[in-house]
C-alpha cells in the first residue's frame, strides 16, 4: 500500500515556514557558489578533474558506505535485544548503548590511537599475550572508530520503530506458518526499513563531514582536501569548489536513501488498539547477548572514557594543574539546550510538509535541510561568518548567531526523528479532524502534535547531544570569550595539555549521559 | 525516547527552562557600549597565552576580549569578515597566516620604533607584522630506538633507505609548509622536490599535527619526526623526564629554520591605540621572559638579555640558515609542489 497523504492542500503558513527554514539551511550552498565562482571555470575544472580529487572522493564514499553498513549491522540486533527480548539489566543497556553519541570524534580519535596505536596501552597488553597487530591507522581504523561512535544514529530510530510497531501483523504471519526468523526477515525488517535508511543516511553524512577522527587515524578523506586549502594556501575559492563536490555527493546519497526507504504504509489501518509485543525468551542465549553488548559498550564507551581518565591521573601525578570550571559546563549545557529547542521547532514544518503533503516542493525542502550536515563544520562556520558579518548586524557573534549555526548544522537529525514518528501516526485522525471543521492550526495543536511528541523530544535530544560536542562553529561564531567544554578540550589537547583536556572531556560525556538517562528512563514504564 | 510523565510537569519544566535560557542569554550578551575594548583573534592557545594577557589587562586596565581558534581558520575568518571584522589584533602561530593577511592588504603598518626592536628577518618586509617569539624546527627522536650517533647532520640524511618506515611528518601543518618553502628558497625547487620524493620513498607516516608526532615518537610508533622544538617540553612536563623523546638539530639547512609566532594590527581596527599597546607589551622584556620561561620559546628582542628555559638549547648553539621569514610567502607554490609529489 502506498504511503497515505492528507486529502487537503497544504496551508500557506506551513509552506512559508518550511521554505524559510530550507532557505536558512541552504545558506552555506549560496556561500560556496559565490566563492567558487571567483575561482573561474578552468581552475574549477582542473581542481575537480584531478585524479587525486577523484581518488579521495572514492575513498570517502567507500568509507561512508562501509561505516553505515556496519552501523546497521550493530544497531538492528541491538535494538531487537533491547525491545523484544528478556535481556537482563535492560535499563542499563538502553542508556549505555547510546552513550557513544556523546563522545566527540576528536576524543574518540585520540583515545583509539592512544590505546590501539603501536606502543599504546591495549596494543602493549595484547602483544604481551602474543597477539600482534600493526596498529589502528588507515581505512580500517577510521572505519572502526566512526562505526563505534555513530551506530546509535541507527539504533535510536530502529528502536523507537520497534516499540511502536503493531505486533498484530507479525503474529498473523506467524499463525500462517512463518518461522520466527522468516517473520523477522519478511515482516519486521521491511517495516524497519525507513528507520534504518534515515539512520544510515545520518551515519554516512557524519562520515563524509568528519575531520577530527579521520585525520587522527591517518585516513585520506575528502574533508582533508578541503582543510588543506584553508590551512596551506588560505584559498577559499578552491575550498568552496571542493565543498560543492561534497554537496553533489550528498544529493546522490539522498537519492539512494529515498530508494531504500520505499513508500510503504506503516501506520495502523485496522480497528482496535495496539498491544505490546510478547518478549522473546532468550534462555541460555541471554549471557551471550550480555557479553556481546558488553564488548560493544566497552569498546565504544569504556575505551575513550578510560583513556581520558588515564590522562587525568598521569597529569595529576606529575603536578599538572587541572581546574574544573562548572561555568563552562553550564555554557555547554544551556547553549545545546537552546539549539535543541530551536532546531526541533524549525524541523516541524519541514517534516510535516514532507510527510503529509508530498510534492516536488516538499521534497526539495526536505533535501535542502541536509546541506549543512554533510559539509565539514569549518565550511558551514565560514559561510555564516560571511553572511553574519555582512548582514547580521548586532547579532553577529552572539548566542543567537551560534544557535542559528547549530540549526543549519543539525537540522536533518531533527527532521529525520520527527519524520519517522509521523510515518507511524495515521493521517486518518487528522483528516477526520479537518472534515469535522477544525482549522489546520487546531488540527496541528490538538491532533498532530500530541501524536508526534515522542518524535519531537527525540529530535531535540539528538540535536542536544550533537551540539554539546560541536567545535568549529562554536570557535568562530560564539560571543567572544564564550567557552564551552569542547573549546576548552580542543584548546588543551592541541597543545598536548592532556590532563587539562581530560577534565572537560569526562565532564562532557558525563553531562550528556546523564541527560540521556533522564530521557530514556521513562521508556520502560511508558508501555 | 521517553515522554515526560504529565502535561502539567512538562509545561512547568518548559517555563523554567525558557526563563533560565533568557536570563543566561542576557548575561552573555556582549557589551557594546562598554567603552574601548581590544579584540584579539588568537591562533595561540588559551592554555599558553591567557596568563600573559591577564597581566596586560592588570597593568594597562584595557578591556581585552580574546577569540581563540586555529591559526588558519581565524585568518580565513578575518578574510571573510572583511572590513567589518570585530578583530583589532591577529596573533598567529606561524608567519604563513600573517603573510596571507598581508597579501590581502588587511594589516596596517607598525611603527618603526617597534620594528627596530626585532631582527629584521623576523618581520614582514613591509613592516605590517612582527615576530613575538621564535621556535626552532627540529627532529624529535625516540631515545630508546635511535642512538644519537645515527642522527644525520643534514635533513638529506633522512632520504637514506635506512629510515624506511621510521619517519613521521604533518604535511597539512603550517610549520611543515614553512619548512618546505624555506627548503625551496635555500636549495631551489628542483632539490626541494627531490628531497620530498626521497623522504616519501621511505613511507613516512602522516600525522595531524606536531603534538601527534611527538606522541607517536614517544610510543615508538615512529623513530623520528619533523616538528617544532617546544612541543617536547610540554610532554616532559606532563609525563616526566622518562618520556623517551629528545630534540635533534640539523645544521645550517631548512631543517634548522627558526619559525615564529607573530602579531599584526588590522587595518579595520577601531582600537588601534590599544592594539599598539598590546603589541608593545608582547615585545617588552616581561612578555619575552614569559615566552622563554613558561612556553619554552625563544625571545626575539634585540639587545636585551633574556634568560631562556634551562631545558631549551640556546639559539646561538643552533646553526640556523640565514633567511627572511617575509620571503616565505609562496605558499601556493609549496602546496602545488606537495600535491604534485603526492605528499598531499
pLDDT cut 70: percent of chain B above it? 91
Residue B298's H or E segment, with its range, is none
Specify the pLDDT at position B2. Answer: 39
Q: How many CB pairs under 8 A join A and B?
A: 191
Please name the residue that has the C-alpha cell 540486533: A77
Whole-number Å distance between alpha carbons of A265 and A421: 13
pLDDT recorded at residue A1: 46
| Digit-coded pLDDT (tens) for B148-182 | 999 999 999 999 999 999 999 999 888 999 999 99
Cβ neighbours of A39 in B, within 8 Å: none
- B45 and A494 within 8 Å at the Cβ level: the answer is yes
One-character DSSP codes across A443-464: HIIIIIHHHHHHHHHHHHHHHH
- Indicate the DSSP class of residue A299: I
CB atoms A520 and B237 under 8 Å: no
Contact map slice: A 252-311 vs B, CB within 8 A? none
Q: Which of B45, B74, B331 sits opposite A233 (nearest CB)?
A: B331
Is the pLDDT confidence value at B189 over 80?
Answer: yes
Dist CA B40 CA B38 (whole Å): 6
Q: Is B271 within 8 Å of B281 (Cβ atoms)?
A: no
DSSP A354-422: HHHS-SHHHHHHHHHTTHHHHS-HHHHHHHHHHHHHHH-GGGTTSHHHHHHHHHHHHHHHHHHHHHHHH
* Cα(B204)–Cα(B168) distance, integer angstroms: 5
| Cα–Cα dist A147/A144, whole Å | 5
CB distance A83 to A163 below 8 Å: yes
Residue window 423-462, chain A: list those with CB within 8 Å of chain B.
453-454, 457-458, 461
Query: Which of B100, B208, B214 has the highest number of chain A CBs within 10 A, making it the mutation to test binding with A?
Result: B208
Question: Are B221 and A118 an interchain contact pair (Cβ–Cβ within 8 Å)?
Answer: yes
Residues facing B305 on adjacent strands: none
**CA–CA dist B76, A341 (Å, integer):** 31
Helices and strands of chain A, counted as H and E runs: 29, 0
The three three-digit cell numbers of residue A183, written as one number:
517473520
**Model pLDDT for residues B34-79, shown as the tens digit of each residue:** 557 999 999 999 999 999 999 999 999 999 999 999 999 999 999 9
CATH topology of domain A12-267+285-522: MetI-like fold (1.10.3720)
C-alpha B79 chain-centroid distance: 19
- Check residues B95 and B10 and name the one with the higher pLDDT: B95
pLDDT digits (tens, 9 = 90+) for B131-142: 999 999 999 999
Q: Where are the domains of chain A?
A: 12-267+285-522
Look at B238 and A314 and tell me if their CB atoms are within 8 Å. Answer: yes
B1 pLDDT tier (thresholds 50, 70, 90): very low
Residues in B closer than 8 angstroms to A476, CB to CB, are 67, 69, 73-74, 77
Residues in chain B: 344
Over its length of 527 residues, how does chain A's per-residue pLDDT go in tens digits? 455 566 678 889 999 999 999 999 999 999 999 999 988 888 888 888 888 889 999 999 999 999 999 999 999 999 999 999 999 999 899 999 999 999 999 999 999 999 988 888 888 888 888 777 777 889 999 999 999 999 999 999 898 888 877 788 788 888 888 888 888 888 888 888 888 998 999 999 999 999 999 999 999 999 988 988 888 878 889 999 999 999 999 988 888 887 877 666 666 665 555 667 778 888 888 999 999 999 999 999 999 999 999 999 999 998 888 888 899 999 999 999 999 999 999 999 999 999 899 899 999 999 999 999 989 999 999 999 999 999 988 899 999 999 999 999 999 999 988 988 888 788 888 888 888 988 888 988 899 999 888 889 889 999 999 999 999 999 999 999 999 999 999 999 988 899 999 999 999 999 999 988 887 765 544 43
DSSP B6: -
In this structure, chain A runs to a length of 527
In this structure, are residues A2 and A346 in contact, taking their beta carbons and an 8 Å threshold? no
Q: Which A residues in the span 462-481 are in contact with B, Cβ-Cβ below 8 Å?
A: 472, 475-476, 479-481
Beta bridge partners of A319: none
* Mean pLDDT over the full length of chain B: 90
**Do residue A137 and residue B205 have CB atoms under 8 angstroms apart?**
yes
Query: Is B207 in Cβ contact with A160 (below 8 Å)?
Result: no
d(CA B98, CA A324): 34
Alpha helix ranges (H) inside B105-243: 112-115, 174-187, 189-201, 210-219, 231-239
Residue (of A505, A335, A460) closest to A405 by Cα position: A335
Burial A377-406 (b: 16+ CB within 10 A, else e): bbbbbbbbbbbbbeebeeebbbbbbbbbbb
For residue B245, which of B142, B119, B319, B147 has the smallest C-alpha distance?
Answer: B142
B162 grid coordinates:
635506512
Which residues in chain B have their CB less than 8 angstroms from residue A480's CB?
Answer: 30, 39, 65-67, 86
Least confident segment among B16-30, B111-125, B253-267? B16-30
Q: How many CA atoms, within 13 angstroms, populate the side-chain half-sphere of residue B116? A: 3
For the cut 80, the answer to whether the pLDDT of residue B102 exceeds it is yes
**Of B47, B76, B84, which is closest to A382 when you measure between CB atoms?**
B76
Cβ distance of A399 and B25 shorter than 8 Å = yes
pLDDT exceeds cutoff 80 at B92? yes
Say if CB A347 and CB A411 are below 8 A apart. yes
3-state secondary structure A94-144: HHHCCHHHHCCHHHHHHHHHHHHCCCCHHHHHHHHCCCCCCCCCCHHHHHH
Mean pLDDT of B237-247: 93
Region of residue A40 (left: phi > 0; alpha: psi -120 to 50; beta: else)? left
Question: pLDDT of B314-325, one tens digit each?
Answer: 988 899 998 888
The helix (H) or strand (E) run that includes residue B206 is strand B205-206
Q: Cβ atoms within 10 A of the Cβ of B70, count?
A: 25
Which of A267, A130, A260, A153 shows the shortest CA–CA distance to A205? A153
Q: How far is A224 from chain B (nearest CA, A)?
A: 9
Q: Which residue of A has its CA nearest to B234?
A: A496
How do B107-108 and B167-169 pair as beta strands? unpaired
Q: CA B119 to CA A346: how far, in whole Å?
A: 56
Contact A100/B at CB under 8 A:
no
Output the CA–CA distances (angstroms, integers) from residue B313 to A68, A421, B110, B246, B256, in the order listed.
Answer: 50, 64, 31, 11, 13
Amino acid at each position: 500500500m502506498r504511503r497515505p497523504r492528507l486529502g487537503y492542500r497544504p496551508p500557506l503558513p506551513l509552506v512559508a515556514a518550511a521554505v524559510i527554514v530550507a532557505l536558512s539551511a541552504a545558506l552555506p550552498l549560496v556561500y560556496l557558489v559565490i566563492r567558487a565562482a571567483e575561482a573561474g571555470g578552468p581552475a574549477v575544472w582542473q581542481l575537480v578533474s584531478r585524479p587525486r580529487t577523484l581518488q579521495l572522493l572514492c575513498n570517502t564514499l567507500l568509507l561512508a558506505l562501509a561505516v553505515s553498513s556496519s552501523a546497521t549491522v550493530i544497531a538492528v540486533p541491538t535494538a531487537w535485544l533491547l525491545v523484544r527480548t528478556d535481556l537482563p539489566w535492560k535499563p542499563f543497556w538502553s542508556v549505555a548503548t547510546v552513550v557513544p553519541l556523546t563522545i566527540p570524534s576528536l576524543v574518540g580519535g585520540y583515545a583509539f590511537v592512544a590505546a590501539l596505536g603501536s606502543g599504546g596501552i591495549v596494543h602493549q597488553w595484547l602483544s604481551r599475550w602474543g597477539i600482534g597487530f600493526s596498529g589502528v591507522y588507515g581505512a580500517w581504523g577510521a572505519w572502526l572508530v566512526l562505526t563505534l561512535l555513530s551506530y546509535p544514529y541507527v539504533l535510536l530510530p530502529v528502536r523507537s520503530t520497534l516499540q511502536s510497531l503493531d505486533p498484530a501483523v507479525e503474529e498473523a504471519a506467524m499463525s500462517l506458518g512463518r518461522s520466527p526468523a522468516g517473520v523477522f526477515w519478511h515482516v519486521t525488517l521491511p517495516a524497519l526499513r525507513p528507520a534504518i535508511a534515515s539512520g544510515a543516511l545520518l551515519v554516512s553524512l557524519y562520515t563524509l563531514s568528519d575531520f577530527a577522527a579521520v585525520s587522527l587515524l591517518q585516513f585520506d578523506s575528502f574533508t582533508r582536501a578541503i582543510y588543506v586549502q584553508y590551512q596551506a594556501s588560505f584559498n577559499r575559492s578552491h575550498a568552496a569548489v571542493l565543498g560543492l563536490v561534497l554537496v553533489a555527493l550528498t544529493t546522490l546519497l539522498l537519492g539512494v536513501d529515498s530508494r531504500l526507504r520505499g513508500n510503504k504504509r506503516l501506520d495502523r489501518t485496522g480497528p482496535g488498539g495496539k498491544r505490546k509485543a510478547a518478549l522473546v525468551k532468550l534462555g541460555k542465549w541471554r549471557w551471550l547477548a550480555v557479553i556481546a553488548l558488553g564488548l560493544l559498550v566497552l569498546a565504544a564507551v569504556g575505551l575513550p572514557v578510560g583513556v581520558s581518565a588515564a590522562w587525568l591521573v598521569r597529569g595529576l601525578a606529575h603536578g599538572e594543574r587541572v581546574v574544573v570550571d562548572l561555568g563552562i559546563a553550564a555554557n555547554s549545557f544551556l547553549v545545546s539546550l537552546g539549539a535543541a529547542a530551536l532546531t526541533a521547532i524549525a524541523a516541524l514544518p519541514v517534516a510535516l510538509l514532507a510527510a503529509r503533503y508530498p510534492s516536488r516542493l516538499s521534497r526539495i525542502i526536505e533535501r535542502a535541510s541536509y546541506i549543512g550536515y554533510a559539509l565539514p563544520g569549518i565550511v558551514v562556520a565560514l559561510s555564516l561568518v560571511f553572511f553574519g558579518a555582512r548582514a547580521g548586524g548586532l547579532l553577529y557573534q552572539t548566542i543567537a548567531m551560534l544557535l542559528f549555526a547549530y540549526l543549519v548544522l543539525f537540522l536533518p537529525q531533527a527532521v529525520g526523528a520527527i519524520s519517522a514518528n509521523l510515518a507511524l501516526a495515521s493521517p486518518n485522525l487528522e483528516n477526520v479532524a479537518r472534515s469535522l471543521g477544525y482549522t489546520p492550526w487546531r488540527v496541528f495543536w490538538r491532533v498532530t502534535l500530541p501524536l508526534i511528541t515522542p518524535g519531537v523530544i527525540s529530535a531535540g535530544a539528538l540535536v542536544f547531544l550533537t551540539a554539546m560536542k560541536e567545535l568549529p562553529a562554536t570557535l568562530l561564531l560564539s560571543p567572544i570569550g564564550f567557552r564551552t567544554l569542547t573549546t576548552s578540550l580542543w584548546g588543551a589537547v592541541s597543545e598536548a595539555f592532556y590532563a587539562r583536556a581530560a577534565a572537560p572531556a569526562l565532564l562532557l560525556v558525563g553531562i550528556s549521559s546523564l541527560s540521556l538517562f533522564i530521557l530514556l528512563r521513562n521508556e520502560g514504564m511508558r508501555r | 525516547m521517553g515522554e515526560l510523565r504529565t502535561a502539567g510537569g512538562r509545561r512547568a519544566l518548559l517555563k523554567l527552562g525558557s526563563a533560565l535560557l533568557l536570563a543566561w542569554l542576557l548575561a552573555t550578551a556582549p557589551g557594546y557600549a562598554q567603552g574601548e575594548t581590544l579584540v584579539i583573534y588568537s591562533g595561540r592557545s588559551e592554555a599558553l597565552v591567557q596568563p600573559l594577557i591577564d597581566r596586560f589587562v592588570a597593568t594597562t586596565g584595557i578591556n581585552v576580549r580574546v577569540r581563540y581558534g586555529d591559526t588558519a581558520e581565524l585568518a580565513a575568518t578575518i578574510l571573510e569578515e572583511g572590513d567589518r571584522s570585530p578583530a583589532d589584533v591577529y596573533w598567529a602561530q606561524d608567519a604563513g597566516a600573517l603573510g596571507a593577511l598581508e597579501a590581502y592588504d588587511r594589516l596596517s603598518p607598525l611603527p618603526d620604533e617597534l620594528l627596530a626592536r626585532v631582527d629584521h628577518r623576523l618581520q614582514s618586509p613591509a613592516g605590517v607584522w612582527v615576530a613575538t617569539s621564535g621556535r626552532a624546527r627540529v627532529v624529535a627522536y625516540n631515545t630508546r630506538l635511535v642512538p644519537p650517533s645515527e642522527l644525520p647532520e643534514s635533513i638529506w640524511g633522512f632520504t637514506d633507505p635506512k629510515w624506511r618506515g621510521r619517519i613521521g611528518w604533518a604535511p597539512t601543518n603550517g610549520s611543515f609548509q614553512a619548512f618546505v618553502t624555506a627548503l625551496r628558497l635555500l636549495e631551489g625547487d628542483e632539490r626541494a622536490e627531490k628531497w620530498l620524493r626521497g623522504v616519501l620513498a621511505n613511507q613516512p607516516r602522516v600525522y595531524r599535527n606536531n603534538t601527534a608526532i611527538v606522541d607517536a615518537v614517544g610510543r615508538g610508533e615512529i623513530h623520528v619526526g619533523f616538528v617544532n622544538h617546544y612541543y617536547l617540553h610540554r610532554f616532559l612536563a606532563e609525563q616526566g623526564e622518562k618520556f623517551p623523546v629528545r630534540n635533534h638539530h640539523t645544521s645550517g639547512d631548512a631543517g634548522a629554520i627558526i619559525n615564529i609566532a607573530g602579531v599584526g594590527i588590522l587595518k579595520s581596527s577601531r582600537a588601534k591605540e590599544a592594539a599598539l599597546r598590546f603589541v608593545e607589551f608582547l615585545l617588552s622584556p616581561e612578555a619575552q621572559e614569559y615566552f622563554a620561561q613558561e612556553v619554552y620559546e625563544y625571545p626575539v628582542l634585540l639587545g636585551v638579555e633574556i634568560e631562556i628555559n634551562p631545558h631549551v638549547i640556546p639559539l646561538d648553539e643552533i646553526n640556523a640558515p640565514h633567511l627572511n621569514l617575509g620571503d616565505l610567502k609562496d605558499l601556493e607554490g609549496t602546496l602545488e609542489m606537495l600535491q604534485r609529489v603526492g605528499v598531499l
